[in-house]
Structures are given as C-alpha cells and as structure tokens.
Structure 1
Amino acid sequence: MATAQRVTLVTPVQGTVCALKDVQDPVFSAGMMGRGFGVQPSNGQIVAPVSGTVTMVAETKHAIGITTPNDNLEVLIHMGIDTVELKGAPFTMNVQADEQVQAGDVIATMDLKAVQAADKQTTIIVAVTNSSDKLATLDVDLGDHAAGELVATGELNANTFNAKRTGKLPKAGKYDDLAAQIIENVGGTGNINSVIHCITRLRFYLKDEAKANDDVITGLKGVIDVAKAGGQYQVVIGPAVTDVYDAVIKQIGPEFSNDAETAKAVAETNAAANRPTTTWGLVKWGMSNLIGVITGSMIPVIGLLAASGILKGILALLTTFKLVSATASTYVIINAMSDSVFYFLPIFVGFTAAKKLGADPVIMGIVGGVLTYPSIVAIAGGSKTLGSFLGMSINADFFGLPVHVASYTYSIFPMIAGAWLASKLEPWLKRVIPTVLRMIFVPLFEVVIVSGAILLFLGPIITVLSTGLANVIVSIYNLSPAISGLVIGAFYQVLVIFGLHWAIIPIVANDIATTGHSYLNAIVSATMVAQGGAVLAIALKSKLANIQELAWPATISAFCGVTEPAMYGINLKYGRAFVTASVGAAVGGLLTGLMKVNMWGFTGSLIGFTSFVNPKGMDFSFWGFWISSIVTIIVSFTATWLFGFKDADAEAVKTAPKKRRLGQTA
C-alpha cells in the first residue's frame, strides 16, 4: 500500500538543488504554482523529471509541462526566471505536445551564457502544479546532483490514492486544451502583457486587441462569451475560471500572472488603449474606467464589509436595548471585530487596487499601513493647530514645511489614487535602478514617494474640497432644509466615493455634542436606506447566483448603516442602479428636510431607528423617520426594479464586439 502511494521526481539538470522557498521568484517561492524545487544548473541540458505525456510546450520555449500516466501529476519545468521576455532565443526544444517521454530523457537545452548575458537568472524550477489536490508530502534532497538522479519523493494524498486504487482517478489536464486554444486565439503568448481573473472571467491585457479572434474564442467549448472593457480583453468562462486560469498560467508562465510583471503590462496597455476623441466621450471613458477601478478594487473585500456591517447592526441593537454597555469589554471586543476591516481599509484597498492597476500589492499595503499608523492617526485626530490655510488646520510640519495631516482610516479613494501613482512610478524605477539594487530601492522609493504624495498633497486637496462642500451644504441647509435634503440625498454617496464626505462628519459630531441632535445626520441616514432599497430590488429581481450572493448580504448591511457592499459591490458597478438609488435618496432627503426630522444619535439607516427618539419624549421625528425611510425604500426599489438593473447588465459591456447574451454572470 505504502509503495503504491509513492511518487518520485529526478533532477532535470546537473546542478545544485535548492528548496522552492529559496527560488528568487515570488510566485514559485510562495508555493503559488505548487510544491517542487529549484536547481542552479551547471550545464544547459534539460531532462524530463518524470515519465509521462508532454501536455504543454510554451510558445516562448521557456517552460514544458508533463503529466504522469498513473497519478496524473501535472509537472511544470520552468527554465530560468523572467526568461519569457527572451522570446525563446536561448532554448532548443527536443519534444512537442502529446509526445511520450521517460524520466531522464533529454527534452530541451538552454544556453546559460545567453540567459546570463540578458541579465536573467538561470534557475530551473520544477513544480507539481496540482500538488494541492494530489500530494500529501514531497521531500527534496538538497545539494549537488547529476541530471536524472532521484531527488524528490512524496506521497499521494488519501483522496487521490483511493481514487487511483478504485480506477476513478480524474483525467489530468482537463482545461489544458481550452487554455491552449484561448492563448492561440488572443494572439499567442507574444501578444499577452498579463492575465488575471475575477469570479467568472479571464482578463487579458493584450498588446494588440485586434489580433484576438473574437468569433473563434466565443465558439470554444467552455467559453460563454467575450467582452472588452477598461483595457481588458475578457473571456467569460463561468465557475471554472480558476481552473482555466491555472491552465493558462501553466502554459505561458507565472511571469504573466498579476504580480511583479503586471505593473509594466498594465502601463503599456493603458498607453496603447484606444481613447475616444470627443470631449463627452473622454468624460464617459474616464468615468467608466474610474468606476471600474473603484469597484474592482473593492470587490475582494465586499464580503468582509457586508459581514462587518451586519455585525455593527447587531452591536447597535445590543447597546440600544441595554444588553451591552458601550464601556464594557464585551462591547470593545465586538466593536473591534466589526470595525477593523473599515479602520484598516486603506491597507486592504491598497493591496487590491495595486493588483487592479498594476502596482506591487505588498508595497501598497504598506502604504496603507503608513496612513493608518497610530501616530499618524493621532496627529490627524489631535487638537494641535499650527495655523490654518484655505480652511484647513495646519497640524504638523514636514522638514519645516507646514502640512495638514488628514484622517485616512475608513478611506478608499486616496489609496486608489496612490495605487495609480505607484503603477506609473514602479516601471520607471525598475528601468533606472540597476537589477542588483531593485529589491531594496524600488520599495524604498515607492513607499516614500507614494506615502508622501498622499500625506502632503492628496490629503490636503481632499480636505480643502470637502471643507468647501461642507460649508456649501451648511449654507443650503440654513437657507432651506427641504432643498438641502434633496441635494444632500442625491449626492452624499457620490461624496463618499471620493472621500469628500469626511468634512460633514465633524459637523454632525459638533451638532450632537453642542445641541444633542443633528438634522443633517437624519438626511445622511436616508441615503443609506436608499442604497439598501436599490440593492434589495436587485436581490429579488436577479436570477443570477453570483449577483444574489452579493446583493442579499449587501441589503442587510445597508439597512444596518454600512453601504459600501451595496454601493461598490452592486449599485455603482452596474451604473444605473446607483443613479436610481440616488433618486430614492433625493426623495428621502427631501421628505426628511420637509418634515424637519431630527436625530439624536450617530447610528443611521433602519438599524438606527432609536436614534430618532427624542430623549425628552418621543416626538414626530420618530414617525417622520419611518415615513421618509419607507418612501425612500419604495422609490429606490421601484426605480431600480424598472430602470436600474436587469440580468443582461451583468454581461453587457458597451465596448464589446457584439451584443451580450442574457442571463450570464459577470
């Protein structure tokens, strides 16, 4: 039994075997491509590490895939690091796809001197790309070995071993053929800058989209459709997208995944993108791309935001009904659970926005950490004032330069702007900094420049704009509560997107602190209810599982006072739904202002109904809150149901080559 479970691999080249974690490639060293090992070669003759069928020979000849006949292990032999850029010049292939090889057979040669002359590393990497499904262990004998020597042994995991014993082992490389056809019809490896994936789509950044054969790709078995948006060539796969993505990366190499190489790829793609020529076309193009970046950056954390929003609602109920005291340790612990994702949102958004825009995600995560660093937060929230400028308090100095340090906890837009800056800065730094110094100095300069740009320039600009808007809003409210309700209701969530709403929050806090209530906060509450009403309509109307999976938690979260999941996950993403939600919010704000609804607490939306109870005795504000909230829900729900969303929107892309099909997921 034990013998039958064993798998073996031999050294693919003469040289020094090292652990995979020591390979100077973050994708392989982190185990993202599976278990394996590296070899520092002393000659360029490459042999097969296992017996099996050659399932893939990369177009640029830098990688070969072999699948074993009995265990269906998918073994990748990757020759050199970043050698895909050499376009096959240093390699000679001795095998082709579908050919049978035995362990130790010569399958390729690599010109080590040519690779070194191109300033690339010659490390040969062997990775079992499906090891997470197949292998329980893999032990590697490190040190010097001749080509073809036994170097790694492992055991199949229990599921694979039992399936093999009963003759039910699934076929290997199920998506290899589909991946190969997609690669060929997007113009080949030479036409690909990078590729990422979302929940249903492969998203290629191509050098020339005109080389892609839309009709052939759309007709492939396993492909639902093709779309083009935001500089991406999107191949709609459906639930199997992760498997197809893995098969694509296995064939073209991890250099094309959304890691170190993506920065250069996205920069080149954005530069080559076809932009509209008319002013209105440029505005629409810019807004479409901006919204795409914002929603794309937020999607990975939407589930966390929704869960945290629901937890915030539960906590509000616990404190409202005196089940938990706001000063008790129980409250502190639960509040930390519900609030941490919002407090440290710049870190998460920095990471996801960087992946979206092509910067280094880890570096942008660190930049987010700089913005939420306790000392920075303390400066922003402190009372220290060194003067004022354009309505800003000067609360710090930087090498003697007076600056305003704003608060960035809970913020989104500054990090997206920072990620955009990093995506432009990083490729330039890599061009001007010698390779041997990049590991230290690229992160150093990037963190310093991007953090400094946000703290010293972007933050103050946002503060000036938001302070100006806040003054305008206060003036309008003093002139007419009804008109201000209409205006604030319609545009408050737009301000949230760009982080311009923060100047309104101190006004609300000051109102509550000095008078015990805030009419303005009551209007803000109506905008939360409106987002919930709109996403509720989508949750009930849509037949798509992935839409419902997002919409229902987002509805609950919005009614608990947290609108980010509804706004970024659904409403803003599909455009018209955000507009119809804003229409409902405008109506709700108008009614709130007309009825002069007052609010005595911070917590808004439906979960905050007790905030509308006057401590001196219930008055009309409580009933006015319910009237305006119900009307808001009805208007936003109805408008969204009729005009704001249909399932075809999940697939319809205006720049697609042909009409989108109905009933497909995004």
Structure 2
Amino acid sequence: MSNKDLSKQIITLVGGEGNVNSVFHCATRLRFKLKDNSKANKAALEKTPGVITVVENSGQFQVVIGNNVSQVFEQIMKETSLQDAEKSGSDESSESTGVLGKAVDIISSIFSPILGALAGAGILKGLLALILSLKWIDATSGTYLILNAAADSVFYFLPVFLAVTAARKFKANQFVSIAIAGALIYPAVVAAVGSPDPLHFLGIKIILINYSSSVIPIILAVWVQSYVEKWFRSFIHESVRNILVPMFALLIVIPLTFLAFGPVGSLISDGLASGYTWLYNLSPLVAGAIAGAFWQVFVIFGVHWGFVPIMLSNIATIGHDTMLPILSAAVLSQAGAVFGVFLKSKNPQLKALAGSSTLSAVFGITEPTIYGVTLKLKKPFIYACISGAIGGAIIATGGARALSFSLPGLLALPTYFGTGFIWVVIGILVAFVLSAVLVLVLGFKEPETDAAASVNPGGTSGTTTPTLIDKELVVSPLAGTLQPLDTLPDEAFASGAMGKGIVIEPSSGILTSPVNGTVTTVFPTGHAIGITSDSGAELLIHVGVNTVKLKGQHFTKKVKEGDKVVKGQLLLEFDLEAIRAAGFVTATPVIVTNSAQYLDVLKSTGTEVPSGELLLTLIR
C-alpha cells in the first residue's frame, strides 16, 4: 500500500478528519489526540497493511507505523487541513488524563519533533571526538571548525529548537518564542555571564546563567508567553493586535525569564541531574540492571519521554550522562531477541517481520520489534528484559558515559567513546547474544500461519493435510447496477486501500443486511454502516460519495450498533432521488475491510443485481 493510500485509510479509521484534535509523529508513531476515541476503529487499524499496532496511552491514540512514519505523516499533512491550528482544535480535549499523562504528553510533543536532529548531531559529535582522539584531524583546522559547528549547533541553540516545538504545543506565537530563546543566548548576554560585575534590571539583580543547551527555562518561558498573549489578545483591538501583542509579550516575558523562569528552570535542571547522579552513585550495578530491564516497558507505556530532559540536563550541567549507555543494552537485547525469533521461527510471515525488525532495533528503533514481534510472543520480550538488565549492569559498573545525546543503539557508540567505552561494547554484546540464545534455547509459542494446516486425522505428529477451501457468501444489500470499484469517484475506496469490494448504483432506497452478523458501526449521519458477519467478514456499506455532508438528511436508520442482524433484514432507508437532487453521487461501495485475511474476494459477474442475490464470495 502506498503512503498516500495508507494515510487516507488511517484518517478514515481514526474517525475522520473531524475527529482529530491534533496529530504529530515521533520516530515510529503517529500520535493522535482524538475528540472521541470510541469513533476510531482500532481493530481495523491494527489489521491495516503498513500499521504495526495501535496503542492508547497518556490521552493519545498512537498508530505505530515504523521507520516510514514521517512519509505517512507528510501525506496526512498534504491531504488534510490538520496542520491548521483552527482545524486541529485545542489539545485540551475532553479526555481525562492524570498529571503524569499530561506531563508525558507535553514532553513528548515538545521533544519528539527534534529527536532526529538531536540524535544525528550527537552521533556526528561522537565521531568527531573519536577522529580527534586518533589525531586524524587538527583541532585548530578549518575542517574541524566547520564539522564541530555542524555537530554542536543543535545543542548550543537547543533553546531555539525547543522554542519552536513548545510554541506549537502551547499555541504561542512561534516567532516571539524564537525571539525569547534568542535573547537567552544573545552574544552579549553569554559574554556577561563570566563578568565579575553584577547586572541589574530596574534595580533588581539579575542572576546570569549560560542558557545555551538549556532545556527547562525556555519551556517555562513559552508556557507563560502563551498566557500573556492570550490575555492581551482578549482586549487589544484587532487593527493593532498583530503588532502590540508580540511587543508586550517580548517586553514582559524576556525580563521575567532572566529574573525568574531562567534561574528557576536552571535550578530544576540542576536538581534533576544531581538527583539522578545521587541515585546512580548509590549502586551503579542496581541502577544499570533496573534501567536495562525496564526501559522497554517504559517505552510501551510512553513514559520514557520523561527521562529525555534528565539526559539533556545531565549533559548540559555535568558534561555527560550515564543513563544513555545503559539504555543501549536494553535496545540491543530486544534486537537480539527478535534475531533469535528470526532464526528459530518456521512461520514465513513472522520470520520476514523479525528479520526487518532486527535491523531497525540494532539502530535504535525498537517499536516495530516490540509491538510486531517480542511483546506479541511474550517470552522473547521477557528474555530481552532479563538480558537488558545484565547488559545494563555491566555497562553501569564500568562507569560508561555519553558525552552527547543520541538515540540508544549501535549508531550511538561514538558518543560513548572515553571512560568505560569497552564496558559498553561488552554490555551490549552480552545483551544481544544472551537474549538471542535464550530465545533459541527456551523457545516461544509459534503462531499459526494465515493458511494454517489442519492436523492429520491419523494423529501422526508433525504431519499435516491441506485445509479445505472455506468460503463465505455475501448477498447484495441493494438492488441496482454493478460497477467496478475503481470507477468510484472516491480514491480511498477506488484504490482498494479500504479493502476489496464492488460498487452498486442503487435503483431503490432500501438497504438490507448482506450477512448474518452484528452491526459494528452506524455512522451518526446514517450514510454508512459496518457489519461483522458471524464468520468474521468485516463489511462496510457506504451510501454515495461525500454524503456525510448531508448530515443525516434523507437517511433513516433502522438499526443501532451492537444489533444482531440476519440476511435481508432492513438496515437503512434513504431518499434516493432527494440525494441525487442535492448533487451527490449515489453509487454505493460494498467493501470487505479485512479482505487481506482472505485468499480472494470474488465478485458477481452480472451487470444487474436484485437485493438478496449473491454479490461477493470470500475465499479463505
């Protein structure tokens, strides 16, 4: 499925564009804030080719895509108006999340967009340090100057990057936020930090701090900025609002940041760094074992974002971080576990998924590994946690440290060069090899293939006979003329992205059930109905194209969600002529949304079909 088709299907299955408050992405996931999570078809999303799994966490509806997530996100931005803040609505939606959930949401929203730049720059910085130590480059050369600028700029100007993402999260003016960050790292201000002469603002002494690479001060400043702007916008006339609101925001927030938010934020950063260092020094072995064992559990629940500010604060305040190398053991243990699954599995689908997931996990992207393989199989995930604990303990005991931020994984090795580097190598090797060996030796429950064979009635162990072809018949819910799916003027259906099916141009406004089953979806507007048959076929009947715009006019629903229905039972009545008179296409697709689970979907070969006659044959 193309990225364009996948993006359209995802938006449809999360309840449509109108159900989305906001959406952004991290390294592997689309993170939706939905107005009503119950409108999203989670089961259908999880079965969609290109979607690994769906996770509901911290008030977010997370669709795990994998390494291709940025391209899918770009298509969503291109095909929808969700990039408009007015369209996306407020992030303060109706869901009730706790303080922890809200904090994790804020941190992930602010840090995830810049994570790639941070990781890439961190690896480059580590490689440059390695090259410099090997004396392959002169620290006074122009080459080093440029490469060091490329590696260090993201970290030095980190407040500027965070100003942009924080402004998006708090719905503040991005350019004013950038100006606030620029003031914090203004050359004259940075130069004044080392001056022995105290500075005052309107008689109040300024506590000068070097804010380059800082994290919390700018986030606090932008948060306050959002409220300052909102207050001034409430009464300043629109004719001068675009000029005066930014002016007052700069005039108020920048001095307050230097006098209050900056020092307080710096104290928080120092406290986080000192608190972690104190805990780590109590017992590096225990700290390493706990972090190595439970890091991927934190990833599952989404709370791992809470550690990112601590890591960045450690690097900014004490020059290094001891947590990042430990986490590499947790990541490589998952890579080892999925590699063990790849070697041991006889299931071709699982083997292919495990092979591709191994590569992404080695380089630090573990979501496809966890959700697609190890967590689903359960035992490999447990083996990986055990191996991660042992590898993390080895790394922590060796005193390893990261000199710059990067995603934990094999590519991050240059950032660990220096104290304890050899222990990092040993720790991640142990984590990878041990988890793979545990999977190979202790095994796991092998899932059945899609075309599972049945056991030979003779009872001989390991022998199978081919399964008989199973089929399900779907009758026509409408009387009318048949058309190929690709003739429908709606690309989401015509492309087959929603599944295989056929189109009926109805001759009457009577819609009946095509199967015996359960009504799973009845759109509030009545223009579409979803049914799951007793045999597991998932059907979507969508009357017309764009008829949702009628807002229920001309449609009369006869069933509700959860109703049990039989073939031929009345589901819906609609005024066919009135819909056509309103300018809408009435061609109606009948889609098997889980058609990927069938060997084939055979369509009726006629041109006309009465209601209740054979329409589709589903072959298992």
TM-score (normalizing by structure 1): 0.45
